[in-house]
Structure 1
Amino acid sequence: MFRLKDYHVEPPVSMDREETHSFVLDEKFNGREDDKKAIIKLLLEPNNEENVSIIPIVGIGGSGKTTLAQSVYNDKKIQFELKMWICISDVFDVKMIIQKIILATGMEPVDHSMDKLQDQLRKIIHQKKYLLVLDDVWNEDPHKWDSLKDLLACGTKGSKIVIITCARLVAEITCPVSIYTLKGLNEEQSWLLFKQIAFRKKQGTNNPRLEAIGWEIVHKCQGIPLGIKSIGNVLRLEKTKHKWSYVKNNILESATQQKKIDTFPILKLSYDHLPSHLKSCFAFCSLFLKDYEIDKGPFIQLWIVQGFIRPSSKNQELEDVADEYFKDLLWRSFFEEVANADGDINEEVPTSSFFQSLKSIYISHCPILKGWWRSISTTDYQQHPHHQSLPSFHHLFALCIEDCPNLTSLPPFPYLEESLYLYKISLKPLQRTIAMNSPLPSSSSFLSSPFSKLKSITLISIKDTEALPDDWMSNLSSLKKLYIQASPKLKSLSLAVPHLTSLKYLEISNCKLFDSISDMGDGGIEWQYLKCLSSLHYESVPNLKSIPSGLQHVTTLRRLVIFDYPDLKIFPELTSVVYLQISGCPNLTSIPNGISKLTSLEELYISHC
C-alpha cells in the first residue's frame, strides 16, 4: 500500500588518496600519444589562406576526443595570446556562444543585445592570436555556423578553432579539408588501459583465467576508452571468474549487438556496480544541465543536506567524507559519463528522495530548462509503478516560475498551500504536473487533491489558454486570490466560477479578449458561487461592454476598481460596495444610474473619464 522497497545498504568503502591521484594521471591518457602529437602539429602550423583556421576532431562517443583536446589545450607547447574553451552541447545558439566565449576570456558581457555582444567579441579577439575549442558540437545548419565563423574571423594569423564532435557531417560543414578522425585504440593499447584499471597497478596480472576473459572483454569494447575504463572499474574489485564471465556474456553482448558499440549499457553497468553511498551522489548529478561546471565546495554541501554522506566513525567530518566521495567518483571517471547519462540513471534521481523539507522554489529566466523528468504521458504514469515514485515536494509552500518558455514539466507539489506564481510559461506543463499529482483511482481516499489547499494564483503573460482548465480549477476550493494579467487568448472564467467558493480577490488585467463571466441568459446567477468575493479589479479589458449584472448577486463585494474601460456606460446596482474607483473610461459622460443606488458607498474615485 505504501510502495515500500527493500534496499541492501553497503558500508562506505575507504579510499587510498595517493593511489587515486596518480592512477588517474597514468591511465587517463593512455594510447593517445601519437594523436596528441598530430593535433599539436596542426595547431602550430602557420595558416596559409585565412587568419583563422579550423580543425575538427571527429570520433564516436567515448573515444576520448575531449580528453585528447584537454591534454593538447594544456600542453606547454601550445602558446596563444588568448585560449578559450566552451561547451556547446545540443543548442547551437550564436548569441549564447558569444556570451560563453566572452566569459571564457575572463570578461563579463557589457550588454546582452546581439549587436553589443558582437562588438565586444570583435574587440576582444581583434588582431590577437587565439585558440578556441568548441566542445560537443552537434549543429548541422551551415548558416548558423557561417554567422559565427564570420564573427571569429578577425583574429590574427595563426589563430585556431578546434571543433570536437561525434558527427562527421558537423565536421564537414565547419572545415571539410582538415578533419582529424580519432580512431579506437588498438588491442595492445586497449589491454594496457584495461589492465591498469581492472587489475590495479600494484597487483598486476596474476590470474591467467581472468586475464583470458579480460582479453575477450577488451576485444568486444572495440578500442573505445570510455567503455574500457567503465568495465575495468566494475571489475577491479571482483576476483571471481564467474563475475567476469557474467559481465562479458550478459552485458557486453547487449552492448555490441550492432556494428558499433553502444556505450550506454556499459555506462549503466558501471553505475549499477557503484557502492550505494556513491550511487545516490552520482545520480544527483543528473539534475544539472549538460556540460555544467561543478564547483566542488557547494556541490558536496548539497550532498550533505540531502543526507547522502555517511561517515564510518563519529570523529569524521561530513565535509571530509564528502570530499572522499567526490574524489572516488573522479577516480572512477564518472564525471567525464555525466552529461550523457540518461534513462535509468536519471530515473534513479525522479525516484530518490531529495529536498524533502523544501518550502519554496523560485526559478527565473531559464530559457533552455525543460523540466524534472523525461516526458511521459499521463496514461504511462498511471500504468507503470516506477513513475509513481517521482520526487514530490510535500512541504512546498510557494512556487514561482518566471520566463521559462521551454518548460515541459513542473516539480510535483501535491500539497502546495500558499502561492503559485507563473510568468511567461505554458500552462501545459502545469496541467501535466497536476495530472501526475492527482490521486490514482486505487489510491486511499484521504489523499488531498492538487491545489486543494492553495490560497493564491498569479498568472502573467500566459499566451496559450482561452480558459482556465476545468480539471484543475475544480480543486481550488481554498483559493482566496486570483490574479491574471496579459493573457491575450483568455476569454472567460465561467467554468471555474462554481469552484471559487473561497475567493476574496479577483483581478483581470490586460486581457484583450476577456468577456467576463458570461451571464448565460440567467441574470448572471452563477456569480452567486463567489460567496466570499470582496474585491474585484478590471483593467484594460476592452471586450467588456458593461459591468456584469450578475455582480448584484455577490453580496460580499466591498471593493470595485474599473480601469481603462472604453465602453463603460451601464452599471448594475451593487448595494454592498463601499469603495469604487473608475478611471480611463472616455465614453462615460455622466454617472450611471446604478452608482447612485450604491447606498453603502463610502469612497468614490473618478478620473480620466
Structure 2
Amino acid sequence: MADLILGSIVDSITEHLVSLIAREIGLTCGVKRELEKLQGTVTAIAALLRDAEKRRIEADVVKDWLQKLKVVVYDADDLLDDFSTQALRRRRVVGGVKLVLNEVRIFLSSSDQLVYASMMAHRVKEIRERIDAINSDKSAYKAEVNSGNTLGVLVENQPRPETHPDKHERYVVGRDEDIKEVIKFLLNPDFEKNVSILPIVGIGGLGKTTLARQVFNNDSIKEYFSVKLWICVSTNFDVVEIMRKIGREELDGKKFLLVLDDVWNENRSKWLELEEFLMNGAKGSKILVTTRHLKVVKTMTPPTYHELRGLPEDQSLALLMRMAGKQEHEWKTHNLEEIAKEILKKCAGVPLAIKTIGRLSVFLRNTEEDWLNFKYNELSRINQEESDIMPSLKLSYDFLPSHLKQCFAYCCLFPKDYELDPSELVHLLMAQGFIKPLGNRKTQLEEVGHDYFMELLSRSFFQDIKEDLYGNISGCKMHALMHDLAQSVAGDNCITIDSSHEKSIPPGARHVSIDDLLVLESRFEGGKRLRSLLFTNEVFHFGEVIHLDVSCFRNLRALRIDGAGINMISGSIGKLKHLRSLGLSGNDFKYLPNSISGLCNLETLNLRGCRSLERLPRGLTKLVNLRQLDVSDCDELTHMPRGIGKLTNLQMLGTFAVGKDSIRDDAAGLNELSKLTGLRKRLTIQGLERLRSVPSGLEASFSIEKLALQSLTLIWKRSLGTEADAEVLERLRPHPDLKELRIEGYRGVQPSSWISQLHKLVRIEFWHCYNFS
C-alpha cells in the first residue's frame, strides 16, 4: 500500500509548499530557497509514484524502496503542516481584534523571527537531503519509470482466465431461487424493446459466472432462443474484438441470448457503440451481463438488475461438507457442525471462499481436536497463494482509482460487522487529506466525500445499507471478506490493537484503532507517528476512564474516543496542532478545556450525547476552519459561546442552545445563528422559553429562512402558552424547502402561519404541545 499512500502524501506536501512559497512566508530568502528546492525534489518523484499507483508491485526490493521513501515523505508532510499551522496561527492572531500578548510577541519579535527562519531552513534542508538520498537509489532498487515491468505489471494488463459456458460445475449448492428469477426474466416476452438486458451484480467469488452458466444451459432456455452466445469480456472492453467473437450476421433478426461475462467497462460511450450492433435481434432477445460494479450497470441504463448475495448458513455448510468430502452423519456424530459454522463466518457466504477452506480441510480427521486446531491456527495462516478468493477480490481493489484505494483501505480500522456512519467516515477521510476538492469551488468537500462513498458502494465494497426518511444512507457495513481485503492492502499502515495483543505499534503504522482504553495509559512506543487513533468498542463504558490525556500523539489528524465514560479532558489536548477531526461523543465531562482554541486546523468536533456538558469554551469561536460541530443531545448545555457566528465554514451545528441573555454576557444570541448560512441537513434550537423574558432576544436581523435545512426541531422546556412564546414561534420561519419539522413542549393555542407554506414538508410532529391546535 506504500505506493498509493505516497501519492496522497506527496499531493499534501505539494499543497503546503505552494501555499507557503506563494503567500505565507515573508521570512528570509534562505527559507524560500530551501522550500523551492524541496518542491523540485517532490516534483521529481511524483511522476514515478503516479506510475507505481497503477501497477501491482511484486519485487521486494521495490517494496523496500517505497517503504523507506514513505517514512521520510510522512516526516516532510508533518514538518510542512507544522509551518502551515504556525502561519495560520499568525494570521489569526495578528488579524484578530484582540491580540494575545504572548502569541503576538512570538510572531512580531524580529529576533524570534530570525531564529524561527533559521530553524525552518535547516529542517527543510535536512528533509530534502533525506528524500534526495533515497531517490538517488531508485536505480539500485530497479524502480526507474522507464525500466519496463520492474515496477510491476499494469493493472489493466493483468491476465484474466477465459470463461466458457460448457464447463462442468461439480460443486454447486443453492442458487435455485436466483436461477428461477433470472430465467423468468429471460423468458418474459413483455418488453418494449426487442433486446433487453439483465446484469447480475455481486462481489468476486459469489458465483455470478456459475449462475449465468446454469441458466445458459437450462433446457427451457435452449428451446426459447434460436441463438445462444457466450462471450468472456473481462477487463479489456474492445468493441471490435467482442463483435469478432459474436459474428454480427448471426444475430440480426434472430431471437438470441447473449451472455457477456465479467464486464468491467464503465465508459458509457463504449457500451453505446457495442449496443448499436446488438439491437437488431428479434423481439424477446436478451443480453445477460455479469459484473462486480453497479457503475458498470449504469452505463447500460437497464430497467433492473439481479443482485447476487452470499449463501445462507445451511447452504454454506452443505457446500463445505461436500468440498471436505464429509457425510452428514460424520458431522453430527462427532459434534463438528458448530465448529464448522464458526469457521464459515470467515467466508461470509461466498462460495469461492468456502471451496478454498473446504479443500484445505479434506485431510482433517473427524475429531474436535483437529477441527478446533484448524479454526484457531491453520485458518489464520491461509495466505493469498493458497486461497482463490483473495486474488479474486484483489482485482476489484486494483481497478479502483488511487483516491478510492486509500479510502477503502482505511475502513479496515473498524471491526468486522461494524455499522459505519457514512458521514462520520467522510469526516475521518477528510481529516487525512484523502478527499480532494474539485475544480468547482461551490462543491463542498463533504459532497465530494459522499461521492467517494457512493462509488465504493456501487462497486460492492459496502452492503447492508440503511436509509433515513429522505433516502439518505445513514448506515452500512463492509462485507467480511472485503474487510479482510482492506486489511491485506493496508498492511502495517492501518492496524488494530486490543487487550489481547502486545501494546506496541509497528514502525510503519500511521492509523490505529483500539478497543481497550488502557492502551492510552501505556504511552506505547510509536505514538508520535500516528495520524489516526480510533476507539471502536461499541459497548458503552461507564466511568472506566476518568482523565483523557493524549498529548503523546502529537501528529494526530483524527482522534475518536466515543462512549468511553470520560469525565475530564486534559488541557494538553491543545497540543495536537495537526488535529482535523475530534470525536468525543457519549462521554461524561462537563466542559472542554479552553486550550482547544489552539486546534486551529480542527474541522470536525463531535460532542453528540455528552449529556453532562454544560458549556463550550469561549475559545471555540477561534476555530475558523470548523465545519462540523455536533452538540446534539447535550441536555445540560446552557448556551452557545458569544461569537459563534464567526464560524462561517460550519456545515452542521446539530443544536443551538439559547442562553439567558439577561444573565450571561458570554451567550450567543439567535442573531448569530442567522450568520451561519452554510448550515444544512438538521438543526435543533432548544431553550426557546428563555426568550420569553427578553423582549429584544429576537433581533431584527434574525432569520433562519436562509438556512437550507432538511429538518428543524424547536424545543420549549417550560412553555406557558403565552403571547411571547407564540411570537417566538412566529419568528422562527424556516426555509420553505424544509422537509421535516418537529415542535416539542410548545403550549401555544394556534399554529404559526408559516407551517402551511412548507411545500416540501414530508413529516411534522408535535411532542407535548398541549392546547396546540
Whether these two folds match at TM > 0.5 is no
Higher RCO, Cα 8 Å, sep 6+: 1
Q: TM-score, normalised by structure 2?
A: 0.27
Q: Which has the higher helix share?
A: 2
